[in-house]
Homo-oligomer: A and B are copies of this chain.
Amino acid sequence: MMEVKSKGQQVSRREEILDKAARLFKQKGYVATTMREIAEQVGMEAASMYNHIRSKEELLEEICARVAETYVNQMNEIESSDLSPIHKLQALIRSHISITTKNIHWISVANNEWRHLPETSLKTFKKARDTYEDRLAEIIRSGIDCQELAEVHVSIALYTILSSLRWIETWYKPNKAYNAKDLEENIVNILMNGLKKSG
């Protein structure tokens, strides 16, 4: 449910193209990835892909749109819960890390290649992202107001949190000295104790 890409053995040809594209877009960047390279990964000629997709841009659009939707769904769930601000924030961080480690290629593309979206979907994506940030900022603000959080500058705290989370896709490798749970515990610890009012 919090998976960006579809699962199961029998995925459609279209899903396969999307997933191979996401991997290549992450690895080489959207502009530097050619349709011929994607086709090679899928195992067909470049021209044949156009029976399943409309354009290269459409691939990027779908990847970004699904990622945005996943984040919004997560935010909806947590925001409507009855947790206190600090616990909402904590839940969001955990959920964010979990989504990222599970869909690392897709998230990476949405985070780094969205500026190459064509105008209409670019606008939509930016709006979704801005709304997400506003809602997270509101949670931080509430936390400060009810004295659960230290009196940091809201937008600096916001971006410090998002930065720490967004960069997971850059350096996280599942086969490291720590697993996704360790990652979660450590990051939550560093961020939350830094934000928590000590006095």
Contacts and interface: CB of A to CB of B under 8 A. Distances in A.
Q: How large is the interface on A (under 10, 10 to 19, 20 to 34, 35 or more residues)?
A: 35 or more
A198 B190 contact: no
Contact of A152 (B29, B32, B157, B190): B190
A112 to B, nearest CB: 7
A191 interface: yes
A187 interface: yes
Interface stretch (A38-46, A56-64, A67-75, A164-172): A164-172
Interface string A97-131: 00000000000000010011000000000000000
Contacts of A150: 189, 193
Copies of this chain in its oligomeric complex = 2
A159 to B, nearest CB: 5
Contacts of A152: 186, 189-190
Contacts of A163: 163-164, 166-168, 170
Interface stretch (A9-17, A76-84, A177-185): A177-185
Contact of A194 (B28, B176, B189): B189
Contacts of A194: 189-195
Contacts of A115: 28-29
A53 interface: no
Contacts of A189: 150, 152, 194
A156 B176 CA distance: 11
Given A153-B178, A166-B167, A178-B153, A160 B32 contact: no
A146 interface: no
19 contacts: A28-B115, A112-B112, A150-B193, A152-B190, A153-B177, A156-B182, A156-B186, A159-B171, A160-B186, A160-B187, A163-B167, A166-B167, A167-B167, A190-B194, A190-B195, A191-B194, A193-B194, A194-B194, A198-B198
Which 5 pairs of residues, A with B, have the shortest CB-CB distance?
A194-B194, A163-B167, A31-B31, A156-B186, A190-B194
